[in-house]
Amino acid sequence: MKAFWESFSLVFVAETGDKSQLLVLALAAKFPLLPLIAGVTSSIIVSQLVATSIGFLLGEAMPVNVLNFLGGLLFIAIGLKTIISPEVAKERQDKVECPAKPFLKVFTLYTIGELGDKTQITCMLLASQNNNFFGTFSGATLAMMLANSLGLVFGKFVSYQLPEKALKAVAAVTYIVFGILRLVDVLGRI
C-alpha cells in the first residue's frame, strides 16, 4: 500500500500543471469527448505500464534527451500544421465519419507528449526503488487520470465558450510553446 500512495501522491503533484495536463486541455477543445477520454486513458495506461516496467526491470531511468528533443520537434510541427491547415470544417467531418481517427490522434499525441516526461521518470524511479510493480503502476495511473480529468473538464468548458478559430489558434500556440520548452530543456542539459 505504501508504494501505491507514494506513487499516487508524487505523480499527481508532478502532473498538476504539467504540459500533458495542458495538452489534454487543448485536445478537449478539439476532439469529441468519448475518443478523447478513451485516447488519453489508453495512453496513460500504456505509458505508465512502460515506465513502471522499465523502472522495475532495469532499476534505472532510460535516457530521455533524444526522446524529449524529437518530441519537442514534433510538437512544433503539429502546432505549425494546426496553424496552416486549411479548414476546421474538414476536421468536424472526420469526427463524424471515422470515430477511430480522433482516438488515434489523441492517443498518439498524448503518448508522444508523455515520452520522457517527469511523471514517467518519477514512476520509473519509484518502481526501481520499491519493488512493488502493481502498487507503483496503479498509483501512478490513477494520479495521471485524476489530474488529466481536471484538464479535460476545464477544456470542454472552454471549448463551448470560444469560437472554433480561436480554439484552433490556442491549440497551435500551445503545441509550439511546449515544443520550444522541451527543446530548451534538452539543450539546457547538454
By the 10 Å C-beta count (0-12 exposed, 13-18 middle, 19+ buried), 97 is classed as exposed
User: Of 71, 55, 179, 58, nearest to 116 (Cα)?
Assistant: 71
Long-range pairs of 160-165 with CB within 8 A, sequence gap ≥ 24: 162/29, 164/88, 165/88
Alpha helix ranges (H) inside 59-117: 65-84, 88-97, 100-114
* Residue 49 confidence class, pLDDT cut points 50, 70, 90: very high
Confidence class of residue 141 from pLDDT cuts 50, 70 and 90? very high
- The model's pLDDT over 75-134, given as tens digits with 9 standing for 90+, comes to 687 678 767 766 444 444 444 445 568 888 889 888 887 877 777 777 777 787 777 889
Determine the pLDDT at residue 46. 93
Closest C-alpha among 26, 8, 22 to residue 119: 8
At 65 the pLDDT is: 66
The pTM of this model reads 0.65
Instruction: Please write the tens of the pLDDT for every residue from 161-174.
Output: 766 677 667 767 87
Q: Is 62 exposed, middle or buried (0-12, 13-18, 19+ CB in 10 A)?
A: middle
Distance linking the first and last C-alpha atoms of the chain: 38
